[in-house]
Amino acid sequence: MTVAAGGLTAGPASAGPVNCSADCITSFQTSAVRGTDFMLTTQTTVPTKTSVKISQYLGDLDSKPAIQFPSGAASTFHYDQVRNLVPGTSYWFKVLATDQQGRTRSEIGYVTTKTRIVTVKIDKITVLDDSDSSGNGEISVHLKAGDVESANYYSDHSVGSGGVLNPLWSRQIEAPTATKAYVELFDDDDDCWLGCGPSTNHLIPQYDTGTAWYGQWGTASYTVPAPKESDPVLNAWPFSMQPPSSSPVKFKVDGSITVEYVA
């Protein structure tokens, strides 16, 4: 049995087998590796049908169900797509070739899918209600995408209802699955310096919505979608988001995400 990495061809089988009782797989090769799929080319000495088992772990490869490629006439050349993989993940796979008498031969290979990089941009925040009954709010802004956070991107920034902030915030994150982006606005009401001292609650992101003696805050969230084969590469997807209607601080966020895949 020969182990082949992505883009490499397995060594030749013994010359001239008439069926798969001997090693009938002459070569197999991965190509067009993307974030969620790759192409597998298999050549055999006799007409066969092919299937593949795939796992992140070599030890449980045999226990995985075989993925049957589209039925059709047996052939000595197979060009099949392996789908529904996780970006940025290494896999072991076993390609199986079965001849017309039901004899099966297999080879083992290894492939790593491309990493999915999402750029999240927060371009504009429009304050619809700063929650202050008089004057401007003292607004702090917390931004987060995946595990990347910019707490207090703005801190105690004076802005009233109808005001606009342009953070032009941009961060790259690895996003092999769906993930979240958050924008929290906190209006600081703790102005009782002599009686209670200044509060630092506005410095701690909550990423929810609430009201307390020291202020009001609200959070808008956007779900960065899970990867799919039709992901546009290097194309910006615009989005907008607002906190729930129960939020005391009301605002609208405009931004975009861009998806790319890297080896």
- Which parts of the chain sit beneath pLDDT 70? 1-17, 71, 190-202, 230, 232-234
| Separation CA 83–CA 110 (nearest Å) | 15
What pLDDT does residue 197 have? 47
Q: How far is CA 59 from CA 54, 55, 89, 112, 175, in A?
A: 11, 9, 16, 17, 27
Range 3-113 classified under CATH 3.30.230.10: no
Q: What's the token pair of residue 33?
A: 């590796």
**pLDDT value, residue 43:** 96
Question: In the CATH scheme, what architecture does the domain 116-262 have?
Answer: Sandwich (2.60)
pTM across the whole model? 0.81
- Note the pLDDT of residue 213: 85
User: What pLDDT shows up at residue 137?
Assistant: 84
| CATH topology match: 3-113 vs 116-262 | yes
- For the chain, the domains span 3-113, 116-262
pLDDT at 201: 62
